[in-house]
A and B are shown apart, each in its own frame.
Chain A
Amino acid sequence: MPSQSLLRWRNEGLGALDEIEAAHAAIGGTGRGRRYATQQVNQAYVVLLSSRFQAFCRDLHSETVAEIIRAAPPGYALPLQGLTAGRKLDHGNPNSGNIGHDFTRLGMDIWADVYAMHARNQRRRELLDEMMEWRNAIGHQDFNKPRLRGRKTILLKEVQQYRSSCDALAAFFVRAALDHIHGVAGATAGW
């Protein structure tokens, strides 16, 4: 049985992002007018990608806690329920710090775990935080960020690279969470 969080990401999340790409492709015209319109779509794409990835990370955290609770004796319900209280991912962006913070509460070092699985995950983490810079710049309409190097426009191929990176990280996060569940709740626990 696959992770429900991953199913939701792959179906609802990526499905919604496909709609944005379809909207980008459907924009007619030529020259400056089209470039302006597609830029608005690209910026919306970054914000939607960020929110969908946040939802995935939050779902995976909830799913992991639920699996650990399921395998725990009833007396452990109180401290385990507290693991979903006051999460950064409930209100904050899915930047690497917030993701690491919330999974640390489960006893995981999620970034170290996914680094050990694939060397490219370090670069994917950098891309995730770069995407968060864009998301915040777009959300606040403040592009004066050193990491953006004075740019105010983002290309479709850049957003597609962020999306690909998020999708790969999603799969590695699920593997890391399942390994953790097996470690704390036994080999038969989990999805």
Chain B
Amino acid sequence: MRRQVGKLDLVPRPPRYRVGDRVMVRFGARDVVAEVIEDRGPIGHGGEQIVRVSMPLDDDETFEFEVSASRASPADSSQATNVAP
């Protein structure tokens, strides 16, 4: 049997970042370049996009965390993975 779910709607908003994009995020006292590895969808404040990003710590290890789209900016392709303060 089919049930009417209701009239609630997610705020429709085109995603700012896609999987594979390189973004600059504030990480402590410095800005770092990270890669978007998952679009978590519009689950942030007011329907803002949240993305999961991966940041290399060294040759073997990465650090993955989530960030709101407004706290990231597109990284220039020429920028190194980790950027000095």
Main secondary structure of the interface of A (DSSP, over half): helix
Of A1-9, A27-35, A121-129, the segment with at least 4 beta carbons within 8 Å of chain B is A1-9
State which of B6, B9, B42, B66 has its C-beta within 8 Å of the C-beta of A84.
B66
Contact A2 B8 (CB under 8 A): yes
**Among A7, A70, A77, A191, contact of B9 (Cβ-Cβ < 8 Å):** A7
Q: Contact flags (1/0) for B1-29 with A, using CB distance below 8 Å?
A: 11101101111000000000000001111
Contact (Cβ within 8 A) B1 A8: no
Q: How many angstroms between the C-alpha atoms of A18 and B8 in the bound complex?
A: 16
Q: Is A148 an interface residue (CB 8 A)?
A: no
Determine whether the beta carbon of B46 is less than 8 Å from that of A14.
Answer: no
Cα A69 to Cα B70 with chains together (Å) = 12
B74 at the A/B interface (Cβ < 8 Å)?
A: no
Residue pair A77, B28 in contact (C-beta under 8 Å): yes
With A66-B44, A66-B45, A77-B26 as known contacts, state yes or no: A15 contacts B68, CB within 8 Å.
no
In the bound complex, what is the Cα–Cα distance between A69 and B72 (angstroms)?
13
Report the minimal beta-carbon distance from A83 to chain B, rounded to whole angstroms: 8
Interface centre among B9, B43, B47, B48 (most CB of A within 10 A): B43
Bound CA span A14–B8, Å: 12
Residue in B closest to A77 when the chains form the complex, CB atoms: B26
Q: Is B33 an interface residue (CB 8 A)?
A: no
Interface size on A, residues (CB 8 A): 32
Q: Using Cβ atoms and an 8 Å threshold, which residues of chain A touch B41? A: 8, 59
Chain B residues within 8 Å of A10, by CB:
5-6, 8
Closest CB in chain B relative to A74 CB, distance in Å: 7
A65 interface contact, C-beta 8 A: yes
* Neighbour of A4 across the interface among B2, B6, B10, CB < 8 A: B10
Contacts of B52 in A (CB 8 A): 84
What B residues does A84 contact at CB under 8 A?
A: 52, 65-66
Q: Which residues from B are CB-within-8-Å of A69?
A: 68, 71
Q: Chain B contacts of A14 at CB under 8 A? A: 3, 5
A67 at the interface (CB under 8 A from B): yes
- Interface membership of A85, Cβ < 8 A: yes
Contact yes or no, A191 B2, CB < 8 A: no
A66 close to B9 (CB less than 8 A): no
Question: Restricting to A54-98, which residues have a CB under 8 Å from any CB of B?
Answer: 59, 62-63, 65-67, 69-70, 74-75, 77-78, 81-82, 84-86
Question: What is the interface of chain B, defined by CB distance below 8 A to chain A?
Answer: 1-3, 5-6, 8-11, 26-29, 40-48, 50, 52, 63-68, 71
The 9 A-B residue pairs with the shortest CB-CB distance in the complex, in nearest-first order: A78-B28, A84-B66, A4-B43, A81-B65, A85-B65, A66-B44, A59-B43, A63-B43, A84-B65
